[in-house]
A = this chain, B = another copy of it.
Amino acid sequence: MDSKDISKAVIGRLPRYFRYLGDLKEKGTERISSKELSELMNVTASQIRQDLNNFGGFGQQGYGYNVDYLYGEIGKILGLDRPHNLIICGAGSLGTALAGNPDFINAGFRIKAMFDVDPVKIGKFLHGIEVHSNKELEDFIKENEIDIAIVAVPVNSANDLKDKLIDYGIRAIWNFSNTDLDVPDYVAVENVHLLDSLMKLSCTAIFRS
């Protein structure tokens, strides 16, 4: 099938399948039925069959899914069969924490550099990654085949930065600034709005009590 036909909603669910299949693989599980997977993941079996049918022929009637194979195929769809080069814009405490996250490296996401405007930070190494001046952004992105930019800067500079990143060729932005970034259709943005998430949690807990 043409991978472009896969819906945004399905793409959004793939990492979770990948995570559960990785756990099963680690435990030595060789195959799993859609029913078992549905109980584990707390989604309906028909949802699972429908999602995985997007990629054709993974499951066999009466046999279930081959965990290892399915894990590998979903990994390929997620693009994890090749490495990705990232930069982190903003060497504050969140940017630094992201730089030190081993999960990203293990999944093939290589953080190549950090960028900041603060002269005190520029030239330092954080978790082994050098902090560069924002002035070097354009050259660095072009010379190092950067796929993804992490935006972890204060809200008031996030939109200016985003415009520059797109100008310099970035087509995927992972946004941690607490504002929505307006981008053209050809740029992918994934927002991690931490304060929104915390408010949602707090509100949900209040309504349950």
Name A residues whose Cβ lies closer than 8 Å to a Cβ of B.
Answer: 3-4, 6, 8, 11-12, 14-16, 18-19, 23, 42, 77-80, 84, 92-94, 96-98, 100-101, 103-104, 107, 109, 127, 147-148, 171-174, 178-180, 185-186, 188-190, 192-209
Contact = CB atoms under 8 A, between A and B. Distances in A.
Contact of A202 (B172, B193, B195): B172
A15 B193 CA distance: 10
A202 B101 contact: no
Contact of A104 (B18, B193, B195): B195
Give the number of copies in the complex.
2
Contacts of A200: 11-12, 14-15, 190
A204 B172 contact: yes
A98 B205 CA distance: 20
A79 B4 contact: no
A96 B179 CA distance: 22
